[in-house]
Amino acid sequence: MRGRPAPEVVILGGGLTGISAAVHSTRPWVLLERNSRLGGHARTDERDGYWFDKTGHWLHLRDPYTKALMAELLGDELVRVDRKARVFSNGALTRYPFQANLYGLPPAVIEECLLGFIEAWQKGDTRPPANFEEFCLQRFGAGISRHFMIPYNHKLWGVHPREITAEWCSRFVPVPRLPEVVAGAVGSSPPEMGYNVSFLYPRTGGIETMTRALTTRMRTDIGEARLSTPVDSIDVEARRVFAGGEEIPYRAVVATIPLPELFRRIRALPPEIEAAAGRLRCTPVRYLNVATRNPVPADFHWIYVPEEKYPFYRVGIYSNALPAMAPQGRGSLYVELSDRGPRPSGVALDTLRHDVAAGLAASGAIASADDVLFADLHELEYAYVVFDDHYYAATAQLRAWLEAHDIFPRGRYGSWTYNAMEDCILAGREVIGTLDDRISQHAA
Ligand SMILES: Cc1cc2nc3c(=O)[nH]c(=O)nc-3n(C[C@H](O)[C@H](O)[C@H](O)COP(=O)(O)OP(=O)(O)OC[C@H]3O[C@@H](n4cnc5c(N)ncnc54)[C@H](O)[C@@H]3O)c2cc1C
């Protein structure tokens, strides 16, 4: 194959997980990516000097390996930014997380949230919560749940928190102690808390600068990335992937494309596997890339917006993190929308843009609604995997079946999980070790 050894490992999808697998592969590989550019969700688009990720992609590193790798690849090009995250609720901007920073809200709301927290704390209910709604009521009480946890998470996940299991949230939802909640209610809490109080971001070019740097490490001596090459189908008995009119034999597959897409492409699936794959749920995210004519008055990097009267649940300002993300004296923002109905167009899209501009002005993210130069609508088909009651049994069954056929699902949508860019880079390294062991066992 074009002077390279025939591939042993076929990598499906060229997002960060697939790229990382190609970086770490010790065996001949081929990567198949349907888009004309590598990077998946970790890409950045430019329009008229404004730069936009596929909504804010802030890099958080905790593993020594990825820290060293990024330092080598990007050095000073990667800037550390101290996070300024806020919550916009009841007309006030408060610090994040809401539950530990009630100061600034109307007094009646603070009272309701504090009393609810104290009541929950006195109850001390330690039974495993049946779902995410119960988790919120148990840990935060009725007021914080009503004003933030339930409406925000409903807007974010696109399903009510009672449909989501509680297991996933322990890593991601900070639970403050009573003294911290009281300190936050009277305005004496530390400035930022929770995990991730700072983040890294490329000085120029958005998150794709990081992605591109990683691609320079792909082992092109033993493999190649084929762009604009969607995977058509997979025959697990014949151990062949079909793509771009070719038939590619494999010893192992690293599958990073969304799990339901993978199963749709596997020929002759057993009925019980097809049924389990049918139980996987995921919500899309629609968002606006917004450019302003003037500087943004706000100093925050992003805000959480729980109230239903606003059509968005999170807004971020790229140009507040790195000024090069917009022309001088202007701003570039992302606005993540809560509506998952039919994609708006015509009058409906005009109305949406109007409501978003008014909401942005109300939150102080932009100076006035007239300040919006353009607001382009985009969509991520796969954004948030839903951790419902079927989740654990279905994913365990599907993963076992795939690995029995030497197909290793990895990454956010391959593993069908909630994770971040660093996890994907690490998963690409881990899977190469795992499949090397498997191939050696077969050979022994
Ligand atoms: C709204 C949102 C915000 C986020 N913000 C952050 C953040 O701030 N910080 C952070 O660390 N992480 C963030 N993440 C998570 C981060 O985007 C992911 O963890 C990571 O980018 C996933 O990489 P991946 O390679 O596993 O999947 P993907 O990036 O989805 O890559 C999969 C690839 O497969 C390709 N593909 C699909 N179907 C086919 C096919 N049939 N044939 C060939 N190729 C195919 C796709 O084109 C894509 O390139 C965010 C995610 C979302 C949804």
Q: What was the pLDDT predicted at 278?
A: 97
- Per DSSP, the residues of 279-348 read T--EEEEEEEEEEESS--S---SEEE---TTSSEEEEEEHHHH-GGGSSTT--EEEEEE---SSPP-HHH
Gap from CA of 233 to ligand 1 centroid (Å): 21
The pLDDT-based confidence of 328 (bands split at 50, 70, 90) is very high
The DSSP secondary structure of 151-188, one letter per residue, reads HHHHHHHSS-GGGS-SGGGGGTS----HHHHHHHHTT-
Q: Do domains 9-40+205-281+387-443 and 282-385 have the same CATH topology?
A: no
**Binding site membership of 41 for ligand 1 (Cβ less than 6 Å):** yes
- Out of 20, 31, 57, 63, mutate this one to test ligand 1's pocket (max ligand atoms within 8 Å of CB): namely 57
pLDDT at 193: 60
With a pLDDT cut of 70, the percent of the chain lying above it is 98
Tell me the angle at which helices 132-144 and 107-123 cross, rounded to the nearest 10 degrees. 130
pLDDT at 170: 62
> Which pLDDT score, from 0 to 100, does residue 288 have?
98
Q: Each residue of 119-172: pLDDT tens digit?
A: 999 999 889 899 999 999 999 999 999 999 999 999 999 999 999 988 877 667
Tell how far the Cα of 297 is from the centroid of ligand 1, in angstroms.
31
pLDDT in tens, 352-404: 999 999 999 999 999 999 999 999 999 999 999 999 999 999 999 999 999 99
Phi and psi of 151, rounded to 5°?
A: -65, -40
Which residue's CA is minimally distant from atom 5 of ligand 1? 57
In the predicted model, is pLDDT for residue 49 greater than 70? yes
Of the pLDDT bands very low, low, confident and very high (cuts 50, 70, 90), residue 1 is very low
CA 422 – ligand 1 centroid, Å:
12
CATH code of 282-385, in short, is 3.90.660.20
| Entry pTM | 0.95
The answer for residues whose C-beta is within 8 angstroms of residue 378's C-beta and 6 or more apart is 54, 286, 287, 288, 289
Cβ 301 under 6 angstroms from ligand 1: no
Return the higher-pLDDT residue of 110 and 440.
110
Which residue's CA is the closest to the ligand 1 atom numbered 29? 40
- Return the percentage of the chain with pLDDT > 90, whole number: 90
CATH topology for 105-181? protoporphyrinogen ix oxidase, domain 3 (1.10.3110)
Averaged confidence pLDDT in the chain:
95
Residue 191: predicted pLDDT? 63
* pLDDT tens-digit map of 288-306: 999 999 999 999 999 999 9
For the chain, the structural domain boundaries read 9-40+205-281+387-443, 105-181, 282-385
Does residue 337 register a pLDDT over 80?
yes
What pLDDT score was predicted for residue 332? 98
Closest C-alpha residue for ligand 1 atom 4 = 57
Tell me: the pLDDT tens digits for 208-256?
A: 999 999 999 999 999 999 999 999 999 999 999 999 999 999 999 999 9
Q: Is residue 199 within 6 Å of ligand 1 at its C-beta?
A: no
In CATH terms, the fold of domain 9-40+205-281+387-443 is: FAD/NAD(P)-binding domain (3.50.50)
DSSP state of 149: I
pLDDT mean over 399-410: 98
Calculate how far, in angstroms, residue 282's C-alpha sits from the geometric centre of ligand 1: 13
Q: Rounded to the nearest whole angstrom, what is the distance from the C-alpha of residue 18 to the centroid of ligand 1? A: 10
